Amino acid sequence: MVSKSQIDIFFESDYIAVAGVSRNEKKFGNIIYRELKKLGKNVVPINPNMEKFDDVKCFSSLDSLPTTTQSIVIVTGKDHSDGIFKEALANGFKNIWVQQTSETDYIITQSKLSDRNIICKQCLLMYLEPVKGIHKFHKNINKIFGKLPK
């Protein structure tokens, strides 16, 4: 199970890459990107099919990211998650958050074997303070049933 300290360590990062931004403004990758920006984070968009996102350079792969980026959120379909996860490990990312519903059996197994800070099966938006909307509701439900990381 994910611990509160893992989540805290993840959010200590100033530079966070978001794999899974898209042209569709309602997608989770876009929402997460913008919410991290609001917190003052330096957010780096990743999508191999876009040159720009939110008027900034969109990177095509993790190999091309600035070296200061050591944290990543993977918000892609499961068919792309394993590849990005492997690339994150190969590129030395210390903090990897695989957004709830993007994780695969492979990622879950590897997260248990790795010494890196890997967060799976959690919605990042439930931990971005102040938590708003449906995410606040979900967080409160999880709190009631004792499912929040400790």
Question: How many angstroms separate the CA atoms of 84 and 81, rounded?
Answer: 5
Q: pLDDT band for position 133 (50/70/90)?
A: confident
pLDDT of residue 143: 79
Q: How far apart are CA 105 and CA 33, in angstroms?
A: 25
Residue range 60-71: average pLDDT?
88
Report the chain's mean pLDDT, rounded to a whole number.
Answer: 92
The pLDDT of residue 62 is above 90: yes
Mean pLDDT of 54-71: 90
* Range of weakest confidence among 35-39, 54-58, 114-118, 141-145: 141-145
Torsion of CA 128, 138, 147, 140, to 10 degrees: 90
The pTM (predicted TM-score) of the whole model is 0.93
Q: pLDDT band for position 142 (50/70/90)?
A: confident
